[in-house]
Amino acid sequence: MRVFVPSFCLLNNQENSNIYSYVIPQEQCFREFGNIIPSSPISLPFINALTYPYNSNSPCQENNLICYNLIIDALIQGTLSCLQSQKSQWIYMARNFIQSKEDLLRPDWMCWINDHFIIHGFELPENFEWYVGIQNIIDKTHWKDIYYSNLPFKFVYISKGPILRWYVFDPLRYKIILISQDFDLDRILDRLRMIRTVINIYNVLDSIRRNWVQFKINKSTHPLYLTINRDGGTSIEFMGNFVKKSLSTQKMKETFNYDTIRKIYLETSHIKNLVHCIDLEGNLSYPILTKDGSCKIFLHPVGYYYYPKNELEVKSMIKTILQVLKDMHQVNWTHRDIYWGNILRQDNGDWLIIDLELGGPVNEILQFSLWNRWPEQAVIGKPYFACYDIYQVGRLMDELKGTDQCFNNNYSNSFIQFKNLLLESAKDNNFTAEMALRHEWLSEMNE
């Protein structure tokens, strides 16, 4: 099939000039494509969306909304699926059911390109006002560079019964701007116009993809609202201001103890720079054990992976970790899983220590051993001492060797001495995080 690609004329105005600069103009389409784009065969849902008979006089509002949801999803996803580049990863998701309260926090329709949340839809019943959808879009956007990199905008749509409008979200003004006519999905002609608009949206997104170097950032990014399976038994979902972590039933049976997890989050909730468990309203809370035996944990604050660039940043990180461990040990808890993957940075520059699920009481007799992270003294059947946490901090410092963060091996003598002290700490059960914090390397002035 071949389809015409008209220019995105609705964006050609003064207010949206920054958006229009990313559009492929019609003249360029002539030169590059002969004004046509080859596409793959149209999917069955796409055809159904064009031919779907609809009776808007149906008395059931809920059934109407579900039927329109199906049409909208097929029109957008069907069109994009025909056009998308094989070099990019496009993922779509329509929320057509609600199983838990957190499902209400997600948009109704979502599209990610290479893990960036780029299209966002909200679907209203016919008797609602447009401003309800506008506010919902704003509330569920969470525009941070860890989710959107340096993207200049994202596309959003709001539907109200059979009527649909396209907007763009402008992060500079934090508002959405109307860019389309009203599409009446009860009319076949408007469904065709909708397809044409989605094709134009695709052109804009493809232009951004080809110039992606302009939008990349130097820190790690996370896909907003997209579930990430980590090891088959643990999944992570970034929900904006918090992270939903799910532990499978099998994982809970084999590795974790719910009572321990619940207690450690409750008794460490006062500690700064340590991840906390919250409820959906943002209040301090505890993990949820579901009926099927799985566990849900809503975590705050949100951080991103960041490796220190110089010795000063390493010092800041190590000092924060040791202070967190000092506070944990004082309330009789050990972390037990100190490694680079659990050290994040927050937007305000503070460090954040995450993942308390492997934690346990000080001096608890071990039922298993993380031989690749723990000192050789930490073996099954023996107690886990607080100093073993401190040993793992020394491992962090030692692992900077041979990496991009090694600063050309230009470490101070105090740095090396302190690192060696921490690596030897596992041999002294009386060595504490408070003692480590008094070391001269952490207190000396930085040149």
Structure tokens at 212: 């992606």
Give the dihedral sign, CA 176/181/182/187. Answer: negative
Q: Which residue has the tokens 């820190």?
A: 219
Would you call the peptide bond into 301 cis, given omega within 30 degrees of 0 as the criterion?
A: yes
Q: What is the pTM of this model?
A: 0.84
Structure tokens at 141: 């956007």
* pLDDT at position 211: 87
Task: Say what the pLDDT of residue 395 is.
Answer: 95
Note down pLDDT in tens along the chain; length 447 residues.
Answer: 223 333 333 333 334 333 333 333 323 333 333 333 333 444 555 666 676 665 555 554 455 556 788 888 888 888 888 777 666 677 878 765 677 888 889 999 999 988 899 999 999 988 899 999 999 999 999 999 999 999 999 999 999 989 999 999 999 999 999 999 999 998 989 999 999 999 999 999 988 888 888 998 988 899 999 888 887 789 999 999 999 999 999 999 988 999 999 999 999 999 999 999 999 999 999 999 999 999 999 999 999 999 998 999 999 999 999 999 999 999 999 999 999 999 999 999 999 999 999 999 999 999 888 778 899 999 999 999 999 999 999 999 999 876 555 555 678 899 999 999 999 999 999 999 999 999 999 987 554
C-alpha to C-alpha distance for 437 and 319, rounded to whole angstroms = 7
Q: Locate all alpha helices (DSSP H) within 211-268, ordered by sequence.
A: 249-254, 258-267
Q: Cα–Cα distance between 197 and 189 in angstroms, integer?
A: 13
- Can you list the domains of the chain with their CATH numbers? 2-214 (3.90.1570), 227-302 (3.30.200), 304-447 (1.10.510.10)
For residues 8 and 19, is the Cβ–Cβ distance under 8 A?
no
Give the β-pairing of 36-38 and 90-94.
unpaired
DSSP 40: P
Residue 274: closest CA among 223, 207, 342:
342
- Termini Cα distance of the chain: 66
pLDDT at 64: 55
Query: DSSP per residue over 170-182, as a string?
Result: ETTTTEEEE-S--
pLDDT at residue 75, as a whole number: 87
Q: What are the distances in angstroms from CA 25 to CA 4, 33, 209, 211?
A: 13, 12, 16, 16
> Nearest 5°: phi and psi at 275?
-65, 145
Alpha-carbon span 355 to 265, nearest angstrom: 10
Rounded to 5°, angle at Cα 65 from 60 and 67: 95
pLDDT at 5: 30
Which pLDDT score, from 0 to 100, does residue 7 have?
31
Beta carbons of 170 and 183 less than 8 angstroms apart = no
Give the residue from 363, 358, 377 showing the smallest Cα distance to 423.
377
